[in-house]
Structure 1
Amino acid sequence: MRRQPRSPQTFPFAPGNDKISPELVPQARCPHLNEVTSVEDLLPYFDSVARRPYSPGLWPAWDLQKGERVLLRVTNWHDPMVVEAAERTLAKFEVDYTIEVEDKGPIPVWEGHDEVEYYLSRVPELARWMDEWGALDAAGTYDKIIMGYGGPILNDRVVKIQRFPFITREMVASPAHTFPAELLVAIDQWTWRALSDAKTVHLTDPEGTDLRFTNHAEYWNADRTRFNRRYVEQAYSSNVGHGETYMPGHIWGRPHFHIPQEDGEGVIAGTMNHIAPYPRMEMHIERSKITRIEGGGEFGEKLRRLMAKTDDVQYPGYHTPGLMQWWEASIGTNPKVHRPRAGYAEGYNCGLYERTRSGIVHIGFGSIISSDFERQAAREDLTIGHWHVHLNYPTYVAEGTPDGDRLVIENGRLKALDDPEIRRLAERFGDPDELLREDWIPAVPGLNIPGDYDRDYAGDPMDFTMTELDICRKWHPLFMRMIAAPGGTEPTCH
């Protein structure tokens, strides 16, 4: 289905960024990937995932062992060739497996504004998953459950939950899934340590985000290695192990709960959420609550209606009324994750996947996902759901650490990737320059390719993005020449 471009909307350029220096925004690029034509093409990637030591996070690590009882849950939105390759992998590792296929009906074609309805229905679904996992754990039916690629998981259980972020062939055949697990662990740990000691945090992005908050001591335990158990037990009483630390591949850039001293202030702005692009939107934040939403096209209009409906409602877990409260700024850590091109914004092949690329921050607001507070609100028949803004080129400064101000992310570059110890570890697996280089950085006119941000992109980023992906997929060498940096420097093809 080819979308028709909308009439351009007029938006002011991102505040303070009318003269963005080229060095402040990373050069656009995307990887060259060979077309997958057979199940055999997918097997090496599944084999790598199957051998990775188990990790309770977003990057897939199944650690399959002979004789294990494994449940794989997929849907009719998954490519049948992908499911077949997964089944052959389960058989190869001699596990006792069961595959369940859910019929979700026709595969939808998304627009960015569809995130509102998606997460109004998705949140109850995630709660059901948590309940089902608990029941299966109590019954002792399986050793591992492999399904989904977002949301929290049960961490303090015998049964191990793992991910299946493999919707299309292109999402499987990616270096992200052969990237060394030991290196992923080290990058996650570096990032967690780098931000935990901050006294305050300053988060910016060239699309207009400028946000500050205090990293209160009360968020943390005494040595700032884990979140304060008092608040974790209130928010995740049955899943404390998940709540008190980061999820691998998903580092909490701020705690996923609120305390009375909340003081997040500033602006969150962007053009992308977990589903698809939308016209540029700004959200103004006071004491970690959204007070005003500007722009955003239909996405912004839907959010404004939700805000008006819920702004005077006192929600469990929040210290001021209203559903529209900011609680998440999570950091991706895998440099090889890329936005899928074929069939993008269809079904589960959407913006959710790309948030795990190193240096991307996704903002979350609304009810706190799968928390006790969210479930309590559901029992009270309150409107629940949460929504997102992606920051593709953020700068995250951990201010006032014992070593002074520390850059955790700089212009979309996760600084763990430049750390000498991380680079020495990478040398054990290959060329560190290649391993620790982001394979995909989106192109945005006026930011990192020629053009005018407001005229050519901000009013209808969906049309530009779909065109970009189409050209990159069909004419990759040409695309790489088209996005060459000023002065003729051509991005390296992969």
Structure 2
Amino acid sequence: MTNNPYAGSPFSYVDASTAGPYSIVELMPGVRNLLAYVQLKAGERVLLLMEHTVDPVVVQAIGAAAAYVGADVRVLSVPPFSPGGWDRQAPLDIETAAFHEADVVISGTWWGEVHTEPLFFDQIKSRSSRFLSLHMTATAAALVTGGRLPPEVFYALLRRTLHQVAGAESVRVTSALGTDVTFSGLAWDPDPGALRPGDWRPFPYGGANFWPRDTEGVIVVEDCTFTGVPEEPLRLTLENNLVRKIEGGMAAEQLRRYAPDGYYMRHGLVGLNPKVRIAGGTQFEREKHAGAFYCGIDGLTNGAPIKSGPGFAHCDCQVDRPTVLVDGEPFIERGRLLMLDDPDIREVAARFGPPDVILDDNPLMILPRRFTGVETY
């Protein structure tokens, strides 16, 4: 499976542009934030689990910064992971053994842990490793844009979001293209603070994640994991948290083919990072942008949703500029995350530079390195 050729975004790291060697200088602010996010300490064993096709400058930047902190760094270059159950017989014994011995895993894979049983979330939670995933984001561009937002600013946005949605009964998402879907029975991922043993988190940091008990309505997909940007409108109709209908030409056929037993709604996420790209970014960058929304459908197992393991057909569906209502109250308006104007959020941002610069949600305006938050080690 590859992205739609008209999508304008890469379908794997082999198709992603590489950075010039001297650009490592510009990657370091984002890498410093990455290491601060994972709370790396001197003497810890760090595994860089990187696909063969990841940009060497990205690997070098992360490895050098971790070594400078005093960590014991190992780089394991691995074949690209396949999506879902596409290649269930792929041998992952070496990857699994290395993961089990590490204090910190920094993973640069395209399809990520959600698609592989030996590295699925239940396996991560059972170990003592802290697992940071650059899922489709082990690129210089992701580190220079979304990676530069100071961690403290992201956590302020996340805590403010969780406070606002605590106890909410529903989240309704609409879009100009026709999305109108309501999620209810919500369980939100709590603010974890610093990564703890068994934690998995994405980087660049992205948003507030939730799991619904029920989903009703229509999603018009603007980008998704298995099809890229569809050539024609791709519509998903959901009832009782199940995908009842998939419509939209070749993209619909590709999506049905990937999970012939059907899909259910696994989770949703509200994007909170104003520095993450939309234009030119991979889907897993775009979904984290402040004011974006995405939700993940997953394959049914023998006709039922089994959440303890991979559904082997996890597909994230993007809505770029939605309007989001939380119990009827505006949270996002046509892609604008309203809390970016909140005085308390602006006060936190002011610790690092001008709030109008730190919180500007035009990701083409790259955050100057002096405003990126982390002091030099």
Distance 1:305 1:100, change over 3 A: closer
How far off is 1:242 after superposition? 7.1
Q: Cα RMSD over matched residues?
A: 3.8
Q: What is the aligned counterpart of 2:230 among 278, 292, 298?
A: 278
The sequence identity of aligned pairs, in percent, is: 23
Are residues 1:427 and 2:350 paired?
A: yes
Is the aligned partner of 1:267 residue 2:221? no
Shift in CA distance, 62/366, structure 1 to aligned 2, threshold 3 Å: closer
Does residue 386 in structure 1 map to residue 350 in structure 2? no
Q: CA deviation at 1:163?
A: 2.6
Q: Structure 1 residue 49 and structure 2 residue 33: aligned? A: yes
The gaps in structure 2 that reach 5 residues or longer are 8-18, 115-119, 192-197, 365-377
Quote the Cα distance in structure 2 between the aligned partners of 1:225 and 1:142. Answer: 25
- State the alpha-carbon separation in 2 of the partners of residues 49 and 368 from structure 1: 37
Determine the structure 1 residue equivalent to 2:293.
361
Instruction: Name the residue aligned to 1:332.
Output: 271
Counterpart selection for 2:180 from 210, 213, 216: 210
> Which of 81, 84, 89 pairs up with 1:119?
84
- Determine the C-alpha separation between the residues in 2 that align with 1:163 and 1:331: 18
1:178 pairs with one of 145, 148, 160: 148
In the TM superposition, what is the alpha-carbon distance from 1:281 to its structure 2 partner? Answer: 0.8
State the partner residue of 1:232: none
**Structure 1 residues 185 and 122 mapped into 2: Cα distance closer, same or farther (>3 Å)?**
farther
- Contact residue 394 and residue 410 of structure 1 kept, 8 A: yes
Contact (CA 8 Å) 1:327, 1:368: kept in 2 or not?
Answer: no
Does structure 1 residue 411 correspond to structure 2 residue 350? Answer: no
- Point out the structure with the larger strand share: 2
The TM-score with structure 1 as length reference comes to: 0.57
- Asked if residue 103 in structure 1 is aligned to residue 79 in structure 2, the reply is yes
Whether the 8 Å CA contact 1:72–1:99 is kept in 2: the answer is yes
2:164 alignment partner in structure 1: 194
For each residue in 1:216-241, what CA deviation from the matched residue of structure 2 results, as whole angstroms up to 9, or x when unmatched? 3xx55xxx8969xxxxxxxxxxx7x7
Change (3 A) 1:43 1:225: closer
**Structure 1 segments unaligned to the other structure (5+ residues):** 7-34, 53-60, 106-116, 228-238, 311-322, 345-349, 400-404, 442-494
Query: Which of 249, 267, 285 pairs up with 2:206?
Result: 249
| 1:132 equivalent in structure 2 | 96
CA pair 194-121 structure 1, distance change in 2 beyond 3 A: farther
- Kindly indicate whether residue 128 of structure 2 is the aligned counterpart of residue 158 of structure 1: yes
- d(CA) in 2 for partners of 1:396, 1:375: 29
1:147 aligned residue (93, 103, 107): 107
2:244 corresponds to 1:291 = yes
SS in 2 for 1:356: coil
Displacement of 1:368 after TM fit?
A: 8.0
CA contact under 8 A between 1:194 and 1:408: conserved in structure 2? Answer: no
Q: Deviation at 1:267?
A: 0.9
Query: Could you say if the C-alpha distance between residues 266 and 39 of structure 1 is closer, same or farther in structure 2, counting changes exceeding 3 Å?
Result: closer
Q: CA deviation at 1:333?
A: 1.5
SS state at 1:325 partner: strand
Separation (CA, whole Å) in 2 of partners of 1:433 and 1:368: 45
> Which of the pair has the greater relative contact order for Cα pairs under 8 Å at 6+ separation?
1
Q: What residue in structure 2 maps to residue 396 of structure 1?
A: 324
Corresponding residue to 1:302 among 235, 254, 261: 254
- Aligned equivalents of 1:209, 1:124: Cα separation in 2: 37
CA drift of 1:44 comes to 2.3
**Deviation of 1:361 (Å):** 1.0
Larger Rg: 1
SS at match of 1:66: coil
SS class of match (1:101): strand
1:373 maps to a residue whose letter is I
Q: How far has the Cα of 1:148 moved from its partner?
A: 3.7
**Offset at 1:50?**
4.9
Distance 1:273 1:398 in 2: 24
Kept in 2: contact 1:197–1:398 (CA 8 A): no
User: Structure 1 326/187 Cα, relative in aligned 2: closer, same or farther at 3 Å?
Assistant: same
Hey, what's the Cα distance between the residues in 1 that align with 2:300 and 2:163? 24
